């Protein structure tokens, strides 16, 4: 009988936690009848059993899942449609302001407009500078074969991705850029791999 009364006194511990082991808000009426897991936590003198260890083991299992995000979590969420529209309108207004200042300076704002041919021309000149065949005014030519190859490959990728979407003029311009750059790349790499040999000394012979 003494043992039974002792066990009954141990099960009258009041659980003051605000949430249940499942993470739900505890009802105030449950304070007088705590779940077995709560009793086990509140009475550390009782040896741990399989029932009392179960809630403890569920917590570490849930934590790694939250602490180990997938690779997609590194990608930021795209802006909403309203945010994109607001930013687009602000960009257009800034562009119109710049065009106004350009016109007031005596130049044409059309010189600032970007089109496909100007974009290709900028990549073409970049590759030529990287091959050392062009350089900025007052600067010295330099060779960057890796950079030149990446720029040429970029033009090739654009040619593949834009098939069927270019006008004949745009298509011809792109193909001419690629042909000239690839030919120049081969010539430069061959020249660097086989530099011209300096002529040896001329020795005379007596007749």
Digit-coded pLDDT (tens) for 95-114: 999 999 988 988 888 888 88
pLDDT tens digits along 120-161: 999 999 999 999 999 888 888 889 999 999 999 999 999 999
pLDDT value, residue 44: 46
| Cα dihedral: 166, 169, 175, 179 (round 10) | -170
Task: Give every CB contact of residue 117 below 8 A, 6+ residues apart in sequence.
Answer: 169, 170, 173
CB under 8 Å, gap of 24 or more: what pairs does 132-140 form? Answer: 132/188, 133/184, 133/188
Query: What's the angle, vertex CA 79, arms to CA 74 and CA 84, rounded to 5?
Result: 150
Q: What is the pTM of this model?
A: 0.54
Find the mean pLDDT for residues 3-17: 51
Cα pseudo-dihedral 67, 70, 74, 80, rounded to 10:
-110
Which tens digits make up the pLDDT trace of 177-189? 999 999 999 999 9
Give the pLDDT confidence score for residue 109 in this predicted structure. Answer: 84
Structural element, H or E, at residue 151:
helix 145-161
Domains of the chain in sequence order = 7-61 (no CATH), 108-193 (1.20.58)
Q: Judge whether residue 51 has pLDDT over 80.
A: no
Mean pLDDT of 7-25: 52
């Amino acid at each position: 009988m003494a043992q039974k009364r002792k066990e009954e006194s141990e099960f009258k511990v009041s659980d003051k936690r605000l949430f249940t082991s499942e993470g739900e808000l505890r009802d105030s009426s449950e304070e007088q009848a705590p779940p077995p897991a709560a009793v086990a936590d509140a009475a550390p003198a009782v040896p741990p059993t399989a029932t009392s260890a179960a809630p403890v083991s569920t917590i570490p299992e849930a934590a790694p899942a939250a602490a180990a995000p997938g690779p997609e979590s590194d990608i930021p969420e795209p802006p909403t449609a309203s945010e994109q529209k607001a930013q687009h309108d602000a960009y257009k207004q800034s562009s119109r302001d710049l065009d106004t200042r350009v016109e007031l300076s005596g130049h044409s704002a059309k010189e600032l407009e970007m089109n496909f041919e100007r974009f290709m021309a900028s990549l073409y000149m970049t590759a030529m500078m990287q091959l050392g065949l062009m350089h900025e005014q007052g600067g010295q030519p330099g060779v960057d074969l890796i950079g030149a190859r990446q720029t040429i490959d970029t033009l090739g990728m654009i040619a593949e991705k834009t098939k069927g979407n270019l006008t004949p003029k745009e298509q011809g311009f792109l193909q001419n850029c690629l042909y000239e750059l690839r030919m120049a790349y081969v010539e430069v790499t061959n020249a660097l791999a086989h530099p011209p040999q300096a002529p040896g000394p001329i020795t005379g012979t007596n007749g």
